Structure formats: structure tokens, C-alpha cells
Amino acid sequence: MYEDSYVSYPRTEDKEITPEQFAEYTPEVIQRIASACGADINQLTHLSPRPSHVKAGGAHGANRPSAVNIPESLDEIEAKYGYTGREIYRLLSLNFLSMYGEDYEYDEKSACVKDYPEFKSMIKVPVTMGYKAIFNDTDDEDEEKEKNLKEFGQIAFPAVKEYVRKAPPTPTLKWLVKNLEKYNVGTGATRTSTIAEITNPDTKFPLMIEQKGKLTFTDYGKGNYILLQGTRIGGAQLTERMQSEMAEIAKGSLSDIPGLLSSMEEHILFDRDRMLANASNLVKEDGTPLRDCVGICPHCGGKVRNGKFGVWCSNKCGMNFRYFGKELTDGQVSQLLDGKEILLKDQVSKSGNKYDILVKASGISEFPKKDGTTGYSFAFSTRFPPKESTKKNENN
């Protein structure tokens, strides 16, 4: 979309736009973007630059829809970039247009128990939603509850509360992004692509599983976590500092480069020794080695393991765990061995066309090997995924 001038440079580090960039978005341009993404033009009435959003000194400017190439509708975007592209442009445009919404206003009301004034409470009653009516990505549960609160009641009910330590926040995609932003780890585009890679179940070593926005470790993720215990690079503070120092080198404002390299070498050697010591802890809760077994071989009953050159049977019975020559990840093989159906994307037909296919193991087939022996592989049953299912997968 950037190459076709639909959006601004995606790998920007800027979080504001310059006055010159703001000037490109004339009322006519704003109206066309609003029409394309479905925003209510009547809510876009704050046309003067906001000091919090428009500042001098930036480069590419914050991520935003382009003022040059504006689609007629989201259908135009979907026809070129699929459902995911449509959602990216819609959310990016609404987020940008919220800058032109009026302020969010609320009444702050407080009350106390008449006979016990030290017992106080406070609520915020929305008066004007302003920019939040255009785009609001808040996940604040208290704010959602307050939308339905208008006044305090007349009677206070006593309740005995048990104090417990607040549980740590549930790891979510939004939580992870906020922490990466807090420590300035990578650009917005880099963070997005990295998260997509480590949560992709089709990669060889996925580190996390993302389900409904919540993140949990895979076995590989647990292994990384164990190895990084007590290391310096495992802390966000050192990563932030090293990135800052490298940025100073790029600007030419850091003179002691040999000292910095020596410091980095010392960190690397310390972390190497720490990770080697941590390696002895790479076991599951039951004491067995982490990721010791992918499953049971359907041909000989041996353990199926994941090694340097892919998935293999520990009995070396000749079982092949590929899909018509295409290497499968240990996660995909594990699902096939469990009788589950997996989605293989971007397969290429003999005519060169790409397609997605749903695959399930339906037995074992034999094939002659070059050395004259017999090899074995999965027999597959296949079907094309429904279009709606493909769209949903792309969105996730």
C-alpha cells in the first residue's frame, strides 16, 4: 500500500506529523478519506492543528493514510490487498481522522458516605464523546462501565473486602506493543512484523500462540524464557540503552566507540555463560526434556522428533513427514499426527497459480526410494478452505 501511495512510510519512528504534512490534508482531502473509510464527516470539525499531534522537526511523520492517492471506497483496497489490507486502511484512517474530532468531555462527580466521609468514590459521566466517537481503542474496563453511570445512589452498602496482591496483567497483543513502545524497541512496523512472526504457527520455531488477543508460550517460547533468565539482553532496559547508543553513533555524537564495543562484548560473554548454565533447566513440568517428542510415528510407533534437518522418526523407519516435497514444521506434523486438519498457504500449482489448501492425514502411502528401498509418507485428504474462513484467517 505504501508503494502504491495509499499510506505513508510504514517504518517511521515519528509519532507526530509536521505542520507541512498537516497542511496537505485540506478539508476536501479529509472528506474524501472519511468517505472511503466510513467515518462521519459531521464529527470532523476540529480543523486546526493540535499541539500534541502536530510538531516541527519530524521526518516521515506518523503512520497515516496518504493525501495523494485516496481510494473511492474500502472495496478498492480489498480488491488489491485482500481483507487484511482493507482493515489496515480502515483502522489507520479512523485513527488519523480522530485528530479532527472535538475534545472528549465528561463530568467528574464525587460522593462520600454521609456518616463516614472518609469513604469516597468518583465517577466520570461522558458529556461529549468527541474524538472517541470516531476511533477509540481503549481497553479500560472502568471507562466502559462508567459510560452507563449517570448519578450516585442514595444508599451505600457495606462490604468486607479481602486484600490480595493484584495479579500481573494478562499478556495480550496490546500489552506487548505498549511495553515495546515504552522501551522504544523498534519502529511500529518492525514491532508488528516481529510479533506476527513469533506468533505464526506455520514458522519453524513459533514462540507464542495468540488466541483472541491473549498470548501464551509455545514449548520454544518457554525454552527462550528459561534460557534468558538472569541475562542482561533479556531485560528491556539494556536493549533500550544499546539502541540509544547505536543511534548516537549513527548521528556522530558518540566518540568512545571502542569503549562501547568492549562493553557490548562483555554483555555478550556474560549472557553466553548464563544461557549455557540455564540450559540444564530446559525440561517440562514432568521432568522430560522440552520438546522431546513431536508425536508417535504412524508407521512404526517410534518417537517423532524435531531435529536440525526437520522432523524425523527416531527409529529411522523411512517415514517421510512432508507434503509433496514441502517441509512441514514440527507443529504442523504434531497436528497431523493428532488427526487434526491444517491450513497450508501459498501453494503453487503447475500453472504457477497460488492457492490455500486444508490438509489432513488419512493414512500411510508407500513410495520407492532412489536406493531401491521403500519409503513411507502420509496419505492426505484435502479440500479448499471456504472463502469466509480464508478471510478470517488472514485477519487473525
| The predicted structure's pLDDT at residue 6 | 96
Residue 190 to residues 12, 75, 93, 153, 174, Cα–Cα distance (Å):
10, 27, 20, 49, 15
| The predicted structure's pLDDT at residue 283 | 63
Residues of the chain with CATH 1.10.460.10: 173-281
Task: Decide if 150 contacts 138 (C-beta within 8 A).
Answer: no
| The predicted structure's pLDDT at residue 140 | 52
Task: Decide if 274 contacts 231 (C-beta within 8 A).
Answer: yes
Q: What is the pLDDT of residues 183-215, one digit of tens each?
A: 777 777 788 888 888 888 777 778 888 887 788
Distance CA 156, CA 162 (A): 19
Please return the burial class of 201, using the count of CB atoms within 10 Å of its CB with bins 0-12, 13-18 and 19+. middle
| The predicted structure's pLDDT at residue 284 | 53
| The predicted structure's pLDDT at residue 179 | 82
Average the pLDDT over 350-361 and give the result: 90
**Amino acid making up residue 37:** C
| The predicted structure's pLDDT at residue 276 | 83
Average the pLDDT over 63-88 and give the result: 95
Q: What is the pLDDT of residues 213-240, one digit of tens each?
A: 788 888 788 888 888 999 988 887 887 7
Average the pLDDT over 58-72 and give the result: 93
| The predicted structure's pLDDT at residue 196 | 84
Q: How confident is the model at residue 292 (pLDDT cuts 50, 70, 90)?
A: low
Half-sphere exposure (Cβ direction) of 162: Cα atoms closer than 13 Å: 1
Task: Give the range among 77-86, 151-160, 370-379 with minimum mean pLDDT.
Answer: 151-160
Q: What is the pLDDT of residues 138-180, one digit of tens each?
A: 655 555 555 566 788 888 887 777 777 777 778 888 888 888 8
With helix as H, strand as E and coil as C, how does the chain read?
CCCCCCECCCCCCCCCECHHHHHCCCHHHHHHHHHHHCCCHHHCCCCCCCCCCECCCCCCCCCCECCCCCCCCHHHHHHHHHHHHHHHHHHHHHHHHHHHCCCCEEEEEEEEECCEEEEEEEEEEEEECHHHHCCCCCCCHHHHHHCCCCCCCCCCCCCCCCCCCCCCCCCEHHHHHHHHHHCCCCCHHHHHHHHHHHCCCCCCCCCEEEECCEEEECHHHHHHHHHCCCCCCCCHHHHHHHHHHHHHHHHCCCCCHHHHHHHHHHHHHHHHHHHHHHHHHCECCCCCECCCCCEECCCCCCEEEEECCEEEECCCCCEECEECCEECCHHHHHHHHCCCCEEEEEEECCCCCEEEEEEEEEEEEEEECCCCCEEEEEEEEEECCCHHHHHHHHHC
> How large is the angle between the packed helices 27-37 and 74-97, nearest 10 degrees?
120
Q: How confident is the model at residue 78 (pLDDT cuts 50, 70, 90)?
A: very high
| Arithmetic mean of pLDDT over the chain | 85
Distance CA 291, CA 123 (A): 50
Whether residue 395 is predicted with pLDDT greater than 80 in this model: the reply is: no
Selected residue with higher pLDDT from 93 and 264: 93
Percent of the chain's residues with pLDDT above 90:
37
Average the pLDDT over 32-50 and give the result: 95
What kind of fold does domain 173-281 have according to CATH?
A: Topoisomerase I; domain 2 (1.10.460)
| The predicted structure's pLDDT at residue 138 | 63
Q: How confident is the model at residue 33 (pLDDT cuts 50, 70, 90)?
A: very high
Q: How confident is the model at residue 59 (pLDDT cuts 50, 70, 90)?
A: confident
Q: What is the pLDDT of residues 265-286, one digit of tens each?
A: 999 999 998 988 887 677 655 5
